[in-house]
Homo-oligomer: A and B are copies of this chain.
């Protein structure tokens, strides 16, 4: 029912009801579409802020992307009604809105397209969605085949939601010249100062067809009639009424009449998207449906575009599902983050840096530019802003208006991956202005100032202030008075110091390195003095000096982040390590991964903040918040806890069995930002996917694979091979792209070796260090691992 295709190009689902929220997503340089297996869709594009061209039936709130998006009958979607002209029966593809169970159904999520094959009443409908690389629109193909032994007369009705575009002005009509439907609106505004923006907007939605329809309908209400969306009155008539929408809710519906001999087929292509005016739409028609086949060329170009997002490892392990996910889906999700910046013009600084940490593995140039962009918005004080402005008209919105204190730590943490991967230490010597442009400094100086900012943003004990939040946004009432401190941030600061020390060390600044290493040690000592609670580290200390995230708390007793980061920073000695790892397993681990905190808060705790008001088990309040879980997995690998690490890593990907996938509710084509947690309090809902694929999880998973599981992390000299394969793996192979070279690495358990032995092209590499690799060259690496 849920399987990967043999070539691993697609994940397939063969029932429209088993996994009703299953989905895939496509994106390009301008837009994103989240496509549900039943035909529902959420599409957004940038102009420059996120906008829609296919709307809900009512006025929607403008907001950031939400998890656990609910569907409903009139949710925006892309559908095809099919009517048998002789029997009058109708069904729809993919499944909504008619919900007539197909005889056969396949929903296939690919990397660069999404496909359906639906057989219903012996009619086969094949549909595909792809995108162009640079234009904002959807490319749809529809093929209809008569599989029955009889000639069939059909009407086909592509039905694309336009919805409630605007209370100020909306309309729609069929345009003979364009051979399509054009719906027009004006983005509502009240202040004349906004007009200059509104007048530039792409307030039109078009549906263009490559074949002339017999009829159409643009008026949603007229289309539906009393039949309703599941059985529109207009479809039960011989011909659509060729109506228009005048300040009524528009819709784009076409009608094609088919007369198919047994085995015969007909094909159609459609373009659906936003535009500024008719001329632009005419240009689109010319480009995609004109003389040369622009449509197919765009599909090919998009395929190549997506293929550029391949990662730097291809793996073959005893775990085929893991292989599929790591080889195909994980780098794609990282690439999406790096390319789209989560469809925001002001990504949170920590997200932007981590997303580009991921891009270091795929497109290091993009990562490099992003680090420079972020640093050019740093205050001369060293403080990093809450969000990075990516468009001249952008401004800090939503959570970015709330001051957080953790942004500086991500600089060395994320740079370190970039440097490991590229060895491009020249980046540190680039000169970048501080925000405002009065001062400039090298990247090295920028990071120094960031570290120094962290040193001064501490209380008398040496604990880092939390202000209105750290990595955990809604922990917003711990420190608004300027006294409360973050346990996690203090520990993370120690890790940032030691990471920066490593970088300084490697780049010829041993004295600076020594200072930061000392600072890291001091910080770790402070953490152990004030935050260690006996079995684990506390999450923080409030404005009123209350330690929380400790054993005497009934809710929010233990938080995951301080534990993992204490492993990374070295705060935890071996005794503490053992204790906290055991505690995490006992109190936070669930069948779906490790939870962010437990027990979930069920009511407001005013000195902790908004996190305690979030729904138990959702988002930050006790979910299996994969971003935090990925930190922890990384930390376990750093500590050599390879079995623990792998078990948790494996829980992050739905499956392998159908039961687990059904429980999560999503195909294993992306890691969601969370699975519902609070497993011990609300077992019934635990494990469900949020279906939100925006998450800082993915670069950390990738880093865990490279630095941890396969131990193929870059160093200035090359790669130090230090695998941490799970005990049950007898062998594994990894194709590793690294600084232009290609390594074919084979891992083998060998009963005779006592310690890992690494052979480069047959020759034993000292200390497991592979060096002197040349770009453009292929190498064979054999890694022998003790049994």
A676: chain B residues within 8 A (beta carbon): 247
Known: A190-B402, A402-B190, A615-B171. A66 touches B59 (CB 8 A): yes
Asked if A369 CB lies within 8 Å of chain B CBs, one says no
| Cβ A195 vs Cβ B477 within 8 A | yes
Tell me if A62 is interfacial: C-beta within 8 Å of chain B: yes
Most buried by B among A59, A68, A474: A59
A592-635: which have CB < 8 Å to B?
Answer: 604, 606, 609-610, 613-618
CB < 8 Å neighbour of A684 from B189, B226, B246, B401? B246
Contact A615 B170 (CB under 8 A): yes
CA distance A192 to B63 in the complex (A): 18
At the interface, yes or no: A729 with Cβ under 8 Å from chain B?
A: no
Assuming the contacts A247-B618, A615-B171, asked whether A72 and B70 have C-beta atoms less than 8 A apart, the reply is no
| Alpha-carbon separation in the docked complex, A171 to B73 (Å) | 21
> Is A441 among interface residues, defined by CB-CB distance under 8 A?
no
Chain B residues lying within 8 Å of A480, measured Cβ to Cβ, are: 192
Interface readout for A663-696 with B: 1 if CB under 8 Å, 0 if not?
A: 0000000000000100000101100000000000
CB atoms of A59 and B63 under 8 A apart? yes
In the assembled complex, A17 has its CB within 8 A of some CB on chain B: yes
Please pick, from B72, B99, B228, B402, the residue contacting A191 in the complex, using a CB distance under 8 A.
Answer: B402
Q: Mark A205-237, 1 if CB is under 8 A from B, else 0.
A: 000000000000000010000101110000000
Please determine whether A73 and B615 come into contact, CB atoms closer than 8 angstroms: no
Given A190-B402, A190-B610: A228 touches B73 (CB 8 Å cut-off): yes
Decide: A246 and B72 in contact? CB cutoff 8 A.
Answer: no
Q: Which residues of B contact A230 (CB under 8 A)?
A: 228, 230
Chain A residues 10-33 with CB under 8 Å of chain B are: 17
Q: Which residues of B contact A477 (CB under 8 A)?
A: 192, 195
Residues 60 to 85 of chain A near chain B (Cβ within 8 Å): 60-63, 66-68, 70, 72-75
| A229/B402 contact (C-beta < 8 A), A168-B615, A195-B477, A682-B246 known | no
Within the complex, the shortest CB–CB distance from A323 to chain B, in Å, comes to 34
Query: Which B-chain residue is minimally distant from A229 (CB atoms)?
Result: B73
Separation in Å of the A566 CB from the closest CB of chain B?
A: 27
Q: What 1/0 mask marks residues of chain A from 774 to 787 whose CB sits below 8 Å from any chain B CB?
A: 00000000000000
Does the CB pair B247–A68 fall under 8 Å?
yes
CB atoms of A249 and B168 under 8 A apart:
no
> What is the CA–CA distance of A559 and B427 in the complex, to the nearest angstrom?
65
Instruction: Looking at the assembled complex, report how far the CB atom of A251 sits from the nearest CB atom of chain B, in whole angstroms.
Output: 11
Complex Cα distance A67/B402, Å? 36
User: Residues of B contacting A192 with CB < 8 Å?
Assistant: 402, 468, 476-477, 480, 609-610
- Kindly state the separation between the CA atoms of A273 and B222 in the bound complex, as whole angstroms: 34
Contact A75–B59 (Cβ < 8 Å):
no
Alpha-carbon distance between A170 and B614 when the two chains are bound, in angstroms: 9
Choice from B74, B167, B610 contacting A74 with Cβ under 8 Å: B74
Neighbouring B residues of A229 by C-beta, 8 Å: 72-73
Given A73-B229, A226-B17, A59 and B57 touching (CB < 8 A)? no
Query: Which one, B56, B66, B190, B606, contacts A399 given CB within 8 A?
Result: B190
Closest 9 CB pairs of A and B: A73-B73, A57-B72, A59-B61, A169-B615, A247-B615, A72-B74, A192-B476, A61-B61, A246-B685
Q: Which residues of A contact B (CB under 8 A)?
A: 17, 56-63, 66-68, 70, 72-75, 99, 164, 167-171, 186, 189-192, 195, 199, 221, 226, 228-230, 246-249, 398-399, 401-402, 468, 473-474, 476-477, 480, 604, 606, 609-610, 613-618, 676, 682, 684-685
Given contact pairs A57-B70, A195-B610, A246-B684, a sample of 20 additional A-B residue pairs in the complex whose CB atoms are under 8 Å apart: A58-B75, A59-B66, A60-B61, A61-B61, A63-B167, A72-B74, A73-B73, A73-B74, A99-B226, A168-B615, A169-B615, A186-B613, A186-B614, A189-B610, A190-B473, A191-B402, A192-B610, A228-B230, A230-B230, A247-B618
Q: Can you report 11 A-B residue pairs in the complex whose CB atoms are below 8 A from each other?
A: A60-B60, A61-B61, A70-B248, A74-B74, A170-B615, A190-B399, A195-B610, A228-B230, A246-B616, A246-B684, A247-B617
